[in-house]
């Protein structure tokens, strides 16, 4: 099959008539996207591409706006991980207002808000969007393959998913003022603390949340154990890994330094300060997607692409700071048997380990009286530039701004999590297309395999369209002449999760 980089020219050269199939819009993902496939008369797949089809232009219209507006504005990139954008922007602007160190109350409140975000987003992705594939089967009845079907067949699983998400959203509401698109973080700190009563209310529910998170990890492990062949090999593609890693090499969603490993786990870069991100990665543009293709500059676009998100983070760190999640991480690493796990379906496993960690971290933070402190902001010598990097639910999220003396933004560059995973998602789609679709009579169930592969990455197509719109995901099938033969349109509205992610 043609690769992402050398696709159609060779395919049309000798392919004769290629059929085009489109999955448009992708469903049960967050945001709009489509996948197109080109097949020859024998049903062999010549090309498979994930397109991001929308453009919203945030980077452009943020220019000329006052910097304090930015954290509130940019979170509107994504309704699923708005907190990650909100905080990444606030972190970048902390530098601009000279807040080199935040008061402990502010930093802890932001960490709590972000842990709430990880919890709700991971729960949403696993229970509401992906669990139907995993519990019913990839090619199961499409009419039942959704959260309604889960509620009927596994009511307890559905209920736990809804309540886990609710808990994360409540953390966000109490720290940001609203569940979606709040205002809690401001450059240099936060605008409110948590009262003791609010903390006590949340603490009353946390034990149950941790217990359900543990059950979720067990559920994913059972799925892996029941069909190792599928879970280890479905769409598997080796690649480099990238994430930020906290002090001491621990998993940290909120802050740290950039670390990259190669596909065998060898360190390619470590302790890279986030302000130097531009030296570490570059982005390639392709004609067929509004989503750019980032890669490690030192390696180049062909081999320098990498995975971000739970699968990268859990294997990039040396430890997780909370005991239950750390035990699960060790078991996950043991499953790899000394090798890096690259299987997309293992994203779900890593994701549930992270959800458990978020729940444990929330409990630890809620016991901390500094959450109710009164010193909310700091400031110092002004700077003209700031970079904020955070680990959003879907992976590394980079916000970079320049601000003039008049307080207006003059430059904005955003690299969102889903964009980092652009090439891995395309590779996974190609592998699944080749393995399951080649030469087959294409059914809805077979085509859903493509979407299952994409869902592993929990793409936030909403985030990914920040540049000038949104990207819909579509899967299309072309015949050898490039004629559209079939088009599996996903609802252009898949839930896009976002940000950053």
Partner 1 sequence: MNPPVGQRKLRLATTSLAGCFGCHMSLLDIDERLFELLDRVDLDRSPLTDIKHCGPCDIGLIEGGICNAENIHVLREFRQQCKVLIAVGACAINGGLPAQRNHLDLGQCLQEVYLTAPGIVGGRIPDDPELPLPLNQVHPIHEIVRIDYFIPGCPPSGDAIWKFLTDLLDGRTPRLGHPLLHFD
Partner 2 sequence: MNTPTLLLDGLPVPFSVGQTIMEAATAAGIFIPHLCHHPDFKPQGSCKLCTVKANGRYVSACTMPAKDGMEVENNSPDLNDKRRTLLQMLFVEGNHFCPSCEKSGDCLLQALAYELEMLTAHFPQFYPDRPVDASHPEVLLDFNRCILCELCVRASREVDGKNVFALSGRGIGKHLIVNAESGRLADTGFSLADKAAHVCPVGVILAKRRGFLQPIGCRRYDRQPIGMQFASPPGSGGNGPEH
The residue range among 199-207, 218-226, 287-295, 381-389 that interacts with partner 1, by the rule CB under 8 A, is 287-295
- Which of 57, 66, 104, 228 binds partner 1 (CB under 8 A)? It is 57
Q: Is the separation of the CB atoms in 123 and 194 below 8 Å?
A: no
Binding partner selected for residue 148 from partner 2, partner 1, none, CB under the kind-specific 5 to 8 Å limit: partner 1
Q: Is the separation of the CB atoms in 396 and 387 below 8 Å?
A: no
Please give the angle made by the CA atoms of 213, 219 and 224, to the nearest 5 degrees. Answer: 130
The residue range among 18-26, 64-72, 269-277, 479-487 that interacts with partner 2, by the rule CB under 8 A, is 64-72
Q: Which residues within the stretch 286-325 sit at the binding site for partner 2 (CB under 8 A)?
A: none
Residue 488 binds to partner 1 (criterion: CB under 8 A): yes
Binding partner selected for residue 191 from partner 1, partner 2, none, CB under the kind-specific 5 to 8 Å limit: partner 2
125 to each of 101, 234, 390, how far by Cα in Å? 33, 19, 19
Q: Which is nearer to partner 1, 33 or 103 (CB)?
A: 33
Report the C-alpha gap between 84 and 397 in whole angstroms: 8
DSSP SS3 for 497: coil
Residue 30 binds to partner 1 (criterion: CB under 8 A): yes
Cβ-count burial of 8 within 10 angstroms (0-12 exposed, 13-18 middle, 19+ buried)?
Answer: middle
Residue 278 binds to partner 1 (criterion: CB under 8 A): yes
- Which of 177, 228, 265, 323 binds partner 2 (CB under 8 A)? It is 177
Q: Which is nearer to partner 1, 80 or 115 (CB)?
A: 80
Q: Which is nearer to partner 2, 97 or 362 (CB)?
A: 97
Strands 18-23 and 483-488, by their bridges, are parallel
Binding partner selected for residue 139 from partner 2, partner 1, none, CB under the kind-specific 5 to 8 Å limit: none
Residue 68 binds to partner 2 (criterion: CB under 8 A): yes
Residue 219, phi then psi, degrees to nearest 5: -60, -45
Report the C-alpha gap between 28 and 132 in whole angstroms: 10
* Summary count for the chain: helices (H), strands (E): 18, 16
How many residues line the site for partner 1 (CB under 8 A)? 86
Ordered DSSP codes for 285-342: --TT-SS-EEEETTT-TTT--EE-SHHHHHHHSSB-SSHHHHHHHHHHHHHHTTS---
Residue 182 binds to partner 2 (criterion: CB under 8 A): yes
Q: Which residues within the stretch 404-423 sit at the binding site for partner 2 (CB under 8 A)?
A: 404, 406-408
Q: Taking the complex as a whole, how short is the minimal distance between the CB of residue 447 and partner 1, in angstroms?
A: 10
Ordered DSSP codes for 15-33: H-SEEEEEE-S--SSBB-B
Q: Which residues within the stretch 374-403 sit at the binding site for partner 1 (CB under 8 A)?
A: 400
Residue 103 binds to partner 2 (criterion: CB under 8 A): no
Residue 163 binds to partner 1 (criterion: CB under 8 A): yes
Q: Taking the complex as a whole, how short is the minimal distance between the CB of residue 21 and partner 1, in angstroms?
A: 12
| Contacts with partner 2, residue ranges (CB under 8 A) | 64-66, 68-69, 71-73, 76, 97, 176-178, 181-184, 186, 191-192, 404, 406-408
């Amino acid at each position: 099959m043609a690769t992402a980089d050398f696709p159609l020219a060779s395919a049309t050269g000798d392919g004769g008539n290629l059929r085009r199939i489109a999955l448009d819009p992708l469903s049960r993902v967050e945001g709009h996207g489509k996948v197109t496939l080109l097949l020859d008369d024998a049903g062999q797949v010549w090309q498979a591409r994930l397109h991001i089809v929308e453009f919203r232009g945030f980077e452009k219209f943020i220019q000329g706006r006052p910097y304090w507006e930015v954290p509130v504005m940019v979170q509107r990139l994504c309704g699923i991980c708005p907190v990650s954008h909100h905080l990444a922007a606030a972190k970048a602007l902390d530098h601009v207002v000279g807040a080199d160190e935040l008061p402990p109350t502010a930093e802890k409140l932001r960490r709590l808000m972000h842990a709430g975000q990880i919890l709700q987003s991971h729960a949403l992705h696993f229970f509401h969007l992906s669990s139907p594939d995993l519990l019913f089967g990839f090619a199961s009845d499409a009419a039942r393959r959704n959260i309604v079907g889960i509620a009927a067949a596994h009511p307890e699983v559905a209920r736990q998913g809804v309540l886990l998400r609710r808990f994360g959203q409540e953390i966000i509401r109490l720290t940001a003022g609203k569940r979606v698109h709040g205002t809690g973080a401001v450059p240099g700190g936060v605008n409110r603390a948590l009262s003791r009563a609010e903390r006590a209310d949340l603490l009353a529910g946390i034990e149950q949340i941790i217990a359900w998170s543990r059950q979720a990890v067990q559920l994913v492990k059972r799925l892996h154990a029941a069909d190792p062949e599928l879970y280890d090999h479905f769409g598997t593609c080796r690649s480099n890994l990238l994430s930020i890693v906290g002090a001491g090499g621990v998993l940290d969603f909120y802050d740290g330094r950039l670390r990259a490993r190669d596909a065998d786990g060898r360190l390619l870069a470590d302790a890279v300060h986030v302000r130097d991100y531009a030296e570490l990665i570059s982005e390639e543009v392709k004609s067929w997607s509004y989503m750019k293709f980032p890669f490690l500059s030192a390696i180049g676009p062909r081999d320098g692409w990498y995975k971000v998100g739970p699968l990268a983070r859990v294997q990039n760190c040396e430890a997780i700071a909370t005991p239950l999640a750390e035990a699960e991480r060790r078991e996950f690493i043991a499953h790899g048997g000394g090798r890096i796990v690259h299987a997309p379906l293992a994203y779900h496993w890593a994701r549930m380990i992270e959800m458990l960690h978020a729940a444990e971290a929330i409990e630890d933070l809620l016991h901390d009286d500094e959450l109710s402190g009164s010193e909310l902001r700091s400031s110092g010598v002004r700077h003209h530039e700031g970079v904020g990097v955070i680990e959003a639910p879907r992976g590394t999220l980079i916000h970079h701004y320049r601000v003039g003396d008049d307080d207006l933004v003059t430059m904005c560059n955003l690299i969102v999590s889903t964009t980092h995973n652009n090439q891995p998602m395309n590779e996974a789609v190609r592998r699944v297309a080749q393995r399951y679709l080649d030469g087959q009579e294409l059914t809805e169930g077979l085509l859903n395999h493509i979407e299952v592969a994409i869902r592993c990455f929990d793409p936030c197509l909403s985030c990914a369209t920040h540049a000038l719109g949104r990207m819909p995901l579509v899967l299309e099938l072309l015949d050898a002449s490039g004629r559209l033969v079939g088009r599996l349109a996903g609802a252009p509205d898949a839930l896009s999760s976002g940000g950053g992610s």
